[in-house]
């Protein structure tokens, strides 16, 4: 236990605001690898995330197999094509198809994150009425990983167009694990403080006043 809490001064607050602004969902990656020491440091920081009952339900699968990576990329490509058909407007359908929605073939690191729905750790504390808190805890761990990566100049992209059951089968994980995220990790080909989907005209950031309510 440390003797005193650190003093996060005003300068740190400004840097933290900048980190939040410059954290991006990256889809375009450089080909150079992430040094293993850097990856280990990122993964170690996951353990610092808060979790309900201190259950630490996150389960990380680092995809090292080229064959599995190719299968994941093919799977997501198929899901993207199918999802495009949901849009009745041909122009919107074409715009959707033009978006780059994953970097599974380029990113040097692929990480699948699951949440254990029946962890031994935590002894069930805090989940009697809201068992989904385990999954929320895993999302918190992912966000911490995302910020830590960006602070080190490393980008991360969250791929959500997947069939969770198919992905779990590809990675051969226990049945009580629930897929939370498929992540691409690597050095971004370019940096921006504006989300790519906003740059491409898909969706702008909307004002907080539209989403803040008082009772």
What's the pLDDT tens digit per position in 89-130?
999 999 999 999 999 999 999 999 999 999 999 999 999 999
- Eight-state DSSP code of residue 188: B
CA pair distance 162, 190, nearest whole angstrom: 25
Sheet of strand 109-116, all strands in order from the earlier edge strand to the far edge: 58-63, 109-116, 177-186, 155-159
Residues 212 and 99: their CA atoms lie apart, in Å, by 30
| CA-only gyration radius of the chain, Å | 19
SS3 183: strand
- According to DSSP, the residues that pair with 115 across neighbouring strands are 58, 178
User: Residue 2 has what pLDDT?
Assistant: 62
Assign residue 63 the CATH number of its domain. Answer: 3.40.109.10
pLDDT of residue 3: 75
Q: Is residue 40 one of the residues assigned to a domain?
A: yes
pLDDT digits (tens, 9 = 90+) for 57-88: 999 999 999 999 999 999 999 999 999 999 99
Residue range(s) defining the domain that contains residue 81: 26-189
Does 41 reside within a domain?
yes
Considering the domain boundaries, does residue 130 fall inside one? Answer: yes
Q: Is 209 domain-assigned?
A: no
What's the domain count of the chain?
1
Q: Is residue 14 part of a domain?
A: no
Cross-strand partners of 61: 112
Residue pLDDT, tens place only, 5-57 = 889 999 999 999 999 999 999 999 999 999 999 999 999 999 999 999 999 99
User: Within a domain: residue 20?
Assistant: no
- Which pLDDT score, from 0 to 100, does residue 92 have? 94
Is the pTM higher than 0.75? yes
**What is the full DSSP assignment across 117-176?**
SS-STTTTTT-SS-TTHHHHHHHHHHHHHHHHHHHTT-EEEEE--S-HHHHHHHHT--TT
Confirm whether 90 is domain-assigned: yes
Examine residue 81 and state whether it is found in any structural domain, yes or no.
yes
């Amino acid at each position: 236990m440390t003797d005193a809490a650190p003093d996060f001064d005003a300068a740190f607050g400004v840097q933290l605001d900048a980190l939040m602004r410059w954290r991006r969902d990256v889809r375009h990656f450089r080909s150079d690898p992430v040094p293993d020491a850097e990856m280990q440091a990122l993964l170690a920081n996951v353990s610092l995330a808060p979790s309900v009952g201190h259950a630490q339900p996150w389960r990380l699968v680092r995809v090292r197999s080229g064959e599995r990576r190719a299968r994941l990329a093919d799977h997501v490509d198929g899901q993207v094509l199918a999802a495009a058909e949901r849009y009745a407007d041909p122009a919107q359908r074409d715009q959707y198809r033009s978006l780059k929605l994953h970097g599974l073939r380029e990113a040097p690191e692929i990480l699948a994150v699951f949440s254990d729905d029946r962890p031994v750790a935590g002894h069930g504390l805090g989940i009697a009425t809201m068992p989904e808190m385990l999954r929320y805890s895993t999302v918190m761990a992912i966000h911490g990983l995302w910020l830590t990566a960006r602070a080190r100049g490393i980008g991360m992209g969250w791929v959500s167009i997947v069939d969770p059951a198919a992905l779990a089968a590809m990675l051969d994980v226990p049945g009580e694990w629930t897929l939370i995220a498929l992540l691409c990790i690597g050095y971004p080909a370019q940096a921006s403080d504006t989300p790519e989907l906003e740059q491409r005209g898909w969706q702008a950031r909307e004002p907080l006043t539209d989403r803040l309510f008082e009772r």
